[in-house]
Every structure is written in C-alpha cells, then in structure tokens.
Structure 1
C-alpha cells in the first residue's frame, strides 16, 4: 500500500510539472500578417512582460547588407512557435527579406513583399532561433523587428520588439557599426555553443548603474551581495544632493521594480516608489503598503505626489527609472523625513502590475539588515536568511532523511537482528523510535523557526505553508498517539497499528510534496533543477520499497509451502496489523530468510539517502547556489 501511495505521488508530480507543448504545426498563415495574432481557439496572448527578446548584432546597417536576428529567452525558456517581421518604425510596413533560414528553424512567407516574414515549421523545442535578414534598398531610417512568440499552444506573447536598427546609405568605405558582410546562419535547431546576449546591461561589469556605489551614493539590491558583484536582479541607488534625494531603480526583467522605506524589516505600513512598465509604457508612482494581515501594495490617489520623474527607459527586457523625491512627505497620515530619519530599505520586483497596484514580488525581494540614513553612502547590507535556511535544512533532514529510514526499518526489518537488543528493545523498534523522535524534533524546530523569521503567515500564493502545517500537525500527533498505544493483546491494538501506519505515511508523502512546492517559493531562491533531485529521491525510495516488498512476498510464499499451517511468518509487517491476541506472537529464534540481503539493501538505502540529503541541504543553505558558485569562481580567479 505504501508503494501504491508513492506511485500516486509520482503521478501527481509528473502531471503538475510536465507541460505538453502544442502549437500550429506548420507556422503562421498569411491571414495574420498584419495582426500577428495566433488563432488558438480564441486564447488571448499573455499580458505580462515577455520572457523572450529579439536581439540584433548592430545598431546600424547599410542598404542590402545582411545581419543575424536572434530570438531567445533571457530565462532559458524554449520556443515552440514564432512569427517575425522587420517593420518600418513610422508606419509598421514589413520591409526587407529573410534570405536564409534553416529548414529546421523556419520558413519564409510573403506578407507585403517576397520573403518579408519568417515563421516556424514545426513545434520542436528550440532554445533559440537565428535567421538572416537583408536590409531593403531605397529605404533609409529605423527598422524594428516585431514578433509573436509561443512557448506552447496556450502561452504566447505578441508585440515582442527589438531595439531599432538604423538603415543608412551604402558607401564605398567601411563605416563603423555597419554590417557589410553576410553572416552565417546556424543549420541546427539549437546552435552549437550558442550563448544568448546578456538579458540586460545590469548583468555586465560595465553597468554604469553601479558607478559611485559606496562613494557618492548608497546602493542596495537583491540577491544579497549583488551590488559588489554588479549582477543584481533588482537594485536601488540613492544620491543625496543637498535636500534632493534622487532614487534610481532598476530590474533585469519583469513589469515593475519598487523600493520601500520602512521603520522595521517587515513589509507593511511603508512608503514606496514604483518603476512600472504597463500597456501605456514606463512610468513611476508613489505608493504605500497596507499592514498585515491585509498585506498589499497600492498607489496613492495622486501617484505623482512627492516625486519628480527624471528618466525612464527599457533596456533589453529590463526597466530603469530615475526620480527625485521630496525630502519631507506624508503618506497615509505618516510623515517621512529623509533628512533626519533612518529607514530599512526594501527592494522588490515582479512580473505583473494592476491599474492601482503592483502584484507579488515574483522576480526578486530583499530587505536591509539595519536602519540607516539615506545619506550614508556605506550602503545597506541584506538581512540574514539564517533562520530561513535552517528551516529548509531541518525539514529536508527530517522528511527525506530520518523519516524515510525510520519508515523503512519499521516496515521490513521486524524479523532482523532478533537475537540481540538495543536498550532492551528490538533493534528495528529502537532505531525506528530514535529516528522518528529526531524527525519530530527537527519538524517542530523548523516550524517554530519559520514563524520566528516571518512573524506572520506566508504572503506567497503557494500551498507550501498549508501543506507544511498539515504535515507538522500529523507529525506532532504521532508520538502522542504512540505513547497511549493499547497493549499488544488488546482488541484495539490492530486499529492503533493501522492508524499509526496511515498517519505516518500520509505525513511523509505530504512532507515530500511540500518540499516540491518549496522550490517555487521566491524567498527560498532555489534552482528549478532541484525538482529533478527530488524526483530522483522519490524514484530511489520507491524502487527500494519495491525490491524489499518483493523479497517479503517471496519469503511469505516460501514459508507457507514449507511450514506447518499452525505457524505464521512475520517478515511482512502488514500481517501483524490485523492479528489478535496470542496469535500475533512471532517466531523469534532466528532472523527471517534473506536477512543478509535486507541488511545489504538497508546499507545501500542509508548511503543513498545520506548523499541525497547532503546535496539538498547544500542547495538550500547556499541558495541561490548558482550565484554562490559564480561568486566563489570570481574570487578564485582574482586570487
């Protein structure tokens, strides 16, 4: 029954994590040349910022010259389908032509002129699309590449545009920045050693945003220590010029980036400045956050109160705003004196905005470790995430480590090591009890730690908190119920055995599902590929149960045929759950058959679980682990 439960878990995981990709199999028809809107059963395009970008190698191109045009995702997403045109910036007319396209990547179609549009020919997953485009003759001016890009049948973005490329008059001499040679086109779906251009200039060491940090302005960003490494996902800088406080906000992706000024290190009852990209373009607003338990972020009715916008711009999928804020403002009846007061700084970025507010910070979030004056250019350091990391490490150790081994011992090893005892108890029982007590202690400690850290219920739209609470309640009740278990000879003992077995296994399954959901938590900063480590654990756990269950069934069949009918075997623990009175007494003179094999399999299981738990704890504690390794590598290179 446990094996069946785990097979059900695998089915649920596969159903929720695997996406089947559908798209128009042979590309876009010419009937949508103008709108570039797929007719996917009236499914509307995505309204958030596209995770894809159209990249050009040059800013200027001479007449009849050719260049590569690349479609790629800054988040590593695959492309199922696409439609791409080069359009005049003034009237949107498709111009130029696509000269060469790999047969696996796409085909040219005729919209206004011959081969002025390119689209996909199959729904194969493409990590990038690289095509060749030839500038027209007789047109001088800017051209913008406009595209529709589909991740799957129901998920697509329209109006994904490139930066403009200026078509200039052809001359005999070489002009810097103009491509006059034919660029090769990769013949494969995934170009060999293809590396997309950095998503934004914020990821480059030459980014001018960081110039002056710690010298003439105070800076803060997410994730922690990213300002020093100049690779923040979201960042804020404040420059004080007399009584003028100039804020710069920048995010590598998403629909908004915001900074909050707070009296404490928790979101709620704060003053915010938002840098927002919506359907009308880029803008900046003043806002505030509502205190818990109704935590939310809204704009002021007069969203320009207290600020003067100096500059807004979009850079390769990222956004940037520079605003000057008044030194003294009153927001929701609360005074903010930037000259005399000290504040905690919060930085947040997300994928969605609404007409009067921003949504959850799904891209990045960080809060400073201390209150400081904005004029202090030494900068803000990020608050410690020690308790958050301990919570994750405790739960991984408890439910993937000690609980898994404890359950295995109780299920398959009751008739092993029968000639010796530990602390006056059978070995399986002594170790099972010790491991489950350790599971209980780690779970309760982890649950208390996360509430000390958050001081409130999780604000993320993720069932992790609910499932974790249910797991903790079941775990908390198990040892209490075990303390009051009936005597082995009692008629109620089989009921206790079944309920104790059910409660423990339901808690274990819920805990593993809860850890899967933890990977999606913004605060956890865990890599998406951690899902595959967890899937590996589930597969390993189920395979070991299948092998040990098969061994137990073979043992039962052998004993039934070889022993008198008056004797019972006890190698399969589920039998004991339904036995009563003296008939439940087990033969204990010697280990059940195949004990050496079971001991070997137990050793393999413990070693495997130890390796998996160690790997997962390292991922949790060092999160974001990829940035941590990059930082370590940079440090080694510098030395």
Structure 2
C-alpha cells in the first residue's frame, strides 16, 4: 500500500485522516458503509479490507461498491476485482464514502486499512481503521488499534533568527555566493556553513540559506560532476520547510530521501529567505551506507530551484561548485566557488573574442582599409584574411569545448546549442565561399558579391 512518489517515506506524525464504519458487526453478504474523512484535504488514497486475525496477511477481502464514480474507482488486488478503492484524479477532497460487501467465506474479524496522500510526497501509510466482527464473535483488543507504539516526532523546530556570516573562517567553514554576502542582511545570499560539534568532534552542524523560491540544497561529491553524490535538501512546503537527506546516482531526482541520520533539525521561512540547520554524525551506521563519512575531502555543490507541494524541480542555474575539495571536519575556512567551470568560461571568452573582436575588425578592414593597406600581412596573409582565419579557428575551438565538458550533447540547454551549430556552419561556409571567389573582372563575380 506504499505509493512510490520520489522515494519518499510515509509520515510518522499522527494521521489527520480516519476511517469509520456504520456498524461493528456483520454477516456474509452484508453491506457495510465505510467513510474516509479528515480535517484537511487529500489528493489520493487506497482503501482495503483485510483479515484481522492474520496480522501478516496482505490479501484484500471482500468487494466495494462506489457511491461517487466520478471521484473514486475500483481496483483489482490479489486477482479479485473490486477489492480496493482509489481516486480517479488528484482533485482535492475531504471525504469518501463507499460500500463494502462481505464475502461468503469472510473471516471472523475484518479490519480496514487506508493509505492517504495529502500531496505527492506527504502521505500516511497503511493507517489502521476500525475492526468489525461477525455476529456472535466477542471483540478483543488488537495491537494495531489500542497499543500502537508512540512515534518519535520528526517535525523540525523553527529557528529563532536568521543565520549570519560572522565567524566564517574562524569557527566555521562557509561557502557564499556572491562572495562576502551575509544571509542576515541579504535574502538573495546563497550561504552554507559547517562546523564540528562537541569536544570529540563526532558530529557536524550544517547551516543552509537561500532565496525562498522553493528549495536550497547542497551535495558532497568526490569530483566536480553531478552523480554519486550525498545530497541534503531544505524544501519549502507551503508555510513550512522539510529537511531531508538523499543520494543522487546520476543527473536524476534524489533517491531514498529521509531524515535518517539527521538530528537537531530546525528551519526558518521569513524575509524572503529559506534557512535550515541540522546535525549529522561524522560516521553513520550501516543502515545509511549511501551517506558519506565526513572525515573525507569532498567538492561542495550548492543548488536551488522551485518546488511545488514539497516536490523539487530542476535547478534553473548551474550549481555553485567549490573551487577545491574540502575536508568537512577540517579547519575553518572561507571557501571559494564558481557556477561556471573554467572550460565553459573559455568557451564564452573565445566566442566573444572571435565575434566581437577579430571578426568585426576583419570585416571593417576589408570594407574600408583594403586600398590603404595593400601589402600589410597577418599570419603570412593579408590582414583581412588573417583575422578571418583566426575568427574561424577560435570558433571551432570554442564550439568543441562544451562537448568536452558535457561529454555529449546538452539536452536541456534550450536553443543555445542549436545557435552554436548555426554559427559554426556559417563561419565555415564563409572561407569556403572565399576560396571559390572569381576574379574581379569575371562575369560571375556579381554572384559572389
């Protein structure tokens, strides 16, 4: 009964939704009204009836009849048609009423279970409902209804105030964008800090801040490439913030998101910024093998983007990547980073040099100074030809650099790669056309002109 929604886990807080039946006893063939209701809206659900005498049973029992076919639908579970009910769309609702029909071979005790989805990654898994008994059966306590163990609350607390860059390089390491900004004063400041906790330094406190457009996150990476990274997210979910850890195996959505291994979680959503703080042990148990040990050197990634109902979207900007790898438990320092790798900066610089300098100057000289400098040469050729040859060379080199960086085509870069291909093709056509230029007195010269 678990929805596979982005690797999310079910909520551990008490469910705001409940099941009710119009009777506590039944007989084979009886029709029982089952009502799912809540104090807040929900977008999805899955309702089943199961044998209460078999605690490990996963087989659905009986069949349902719909009272609102436009909002609900029957499902086939365990090869039994109509043995479960679910929603037809993600339209929000607060109540669902269905009719359950007891089978002829019904067990003596039947319990209803429901999984309710408030929105995508926020759901309560297999919430136990009422137990109904066949006529003449004496009710007795059930662990799932009367002695449920208390759950450990995981709701983060609210931070008393904003973070500050004071102390960066002194007792905590910081990564800032733009450099020197202060998250206490500037809501557009991207800020991450880390400091060891306690005299034995067995845990690290992380602080994360950025614009409240949706989420901010950071990752620990062995290299400057996204993939096989340990990720930590601070995500806006309505008027609250969820804090979780995950793992990125490639350029994909984070996997296995949970608060496992995190403690002392707190957050703040105010003044146009989103901030969160949490503590994490330097070394984790075997249950969290995907998490990295913090006594190693890693490159730091800092990314942000939009979120909807607590579901993150692809970041619109290149992540801020630390210039050097950093030992998380190492001495405090102010880290430097960049959103553009050196190879991509070279790509932009060479294109700018080619088309704002050498290409423009070469065209200008050919148009106005050709008669004045008939014998001037550049790279063994006339000035105009030399500049144009240099322009084509710079363009070819600049065109290849993104392919070396991406190791392939940039699928999500919009129209820019296609414009780059057009620029390269046109720049190659120009010298080819020049090679076939006829003499000035030729009858075909007007075609070239």
TM-score (norm 2): 0.53
The answer for unaligned runs of 5 or more in structure 1 is 1-205, 495-574, 580-639
Using the alignment, how far apart are the partners of 2:346 and 2:212 within structure 1? 30
Equivalences for 1:483-502 in 2 at 5 Å?
Answer: 483=435, 485=436, 488=439, 494=444
1:250 deviates by 0.4
1:365 deviates by 3.0
In terms of fraction of residues, the more strand-rich structure is 2
Residues 355/490 of structure 1: CA separation in 2 closer, same or farther (3 Å cut): farther
Q: Could you say which residue in structure 2 is the equivalent of 1:435?
A: 387
Using the alignment, how far apart are the partners of 1:441 and 1:578 within structure 2? 23
TM-score (norm 1): 0.38
Instruction: String of CA shifts for 1:284-337, please: whole Å, max 9, x gaps.
Output: 12123342xxx233252x522222352111121110001122433579964511
Residues 577/441 of structure 1: CA separation in 2 closer, same or farther (3 Å cut): same
Q: Could you say which residue in structure 1 is the equivalent of 2:266?
A: 311
**SS class of match (1:402):** helix
Q: Could you say which residue in structure 1 is the equivalent of 2:350?
A: 394
1:235 deviates by 1.2
Residues 352/487 of structure 1: CA separation in 2 closer, same or farther (3 Å cut): same
Instruction: String of CA shifts for 1:517-569, please: whole Å, max 9, x gaps.
Output: xxxxxxxxxxxxxxxxxxxxxxxxxxxxxxxxxxxxxxxxxxxxxxxxxxxxx
Using the alignment, how far apart are the partners of 1:453 and 1:424 within structure 2? 36
1:276 deviates by 0.8
1:222 deviates by 2.0
Is the aligned partner of 1:249 residue 2:208?
yes
Is the aligned partner of 1:260 residue 2:260?
no
**SS class of match (2:253):** strand
Is the aligned partner of 1:233 residue 2:189?
yes
The answer for unaligned runs of 5 or more in structure 2 is 1-160
Instruction: String of CA shifts for 1:489-518, please: whole Å, max 9, x gaps.
Output: 999x95xxxxxxxxxxxxxxxxxxxxxxxx
Q: Could you say which residue in structure 2 is the equivalent of 1:422?
A: 375
Q: Could you say which residue in structure 1 is the equivalent of 2:322?
A: 368
Equivalences for 1:214-613 in 2 at 5 Å?
Answer: 214-224=169-179, 226=181, 233-241=189-197, 242-279=201-238, 281-291=240-250, 295-300=251-256, 302-308=257-263, 310-329=265-284, 334=290, 336-338=292-294, 340-353=295-308, 356-362=311-317, 365-376=319-330, 377-382=332-337, 385-408=341-364, 412-413=367-368, 417=371, 421-422=374-375, 430-452=382-404, 457-458=409-410, 461-480=413-432, 482-483=434-435, 485=436, 488=439, 494=444, 576-577=446-447
1:234 deviates by 1.0
Residues 282/433 of structure 1: CA separation in 2 closer, same or farther (3 Å cut): same
Instruction: String of CA shifts for 1:89-124, please: whole Å, max 9, x gaps.
Output: xxxxxxxxxxxxxxxxxxxxxxxxxxxxxxxxxxxx
In terms of fraction of residues, the more helix-rich structure is 1
Equivalences for 1:60-71 in 2 at 5 Å?
Answer: none
Using the alignment, how far apart are the partners of 2:399 and 2:180 within structure 1? 28
**SS class of match (1:235):** strand
Query: Aligned pair count?
Result: 280
Instruction: String of CA shifts for 1:418-437, please: whole Å, max 9, x gaps.
Output: 8x722699xxx933312211
CA contact (8 A) 1:284 1:309 kept: no
Using the alignment, how far apart are the partners of 2:177 and 2:377 within structure 1? 54
**SS class of match (1:470):** helix
1:403 deviates by 2.2
1:373 deviates by 1.2
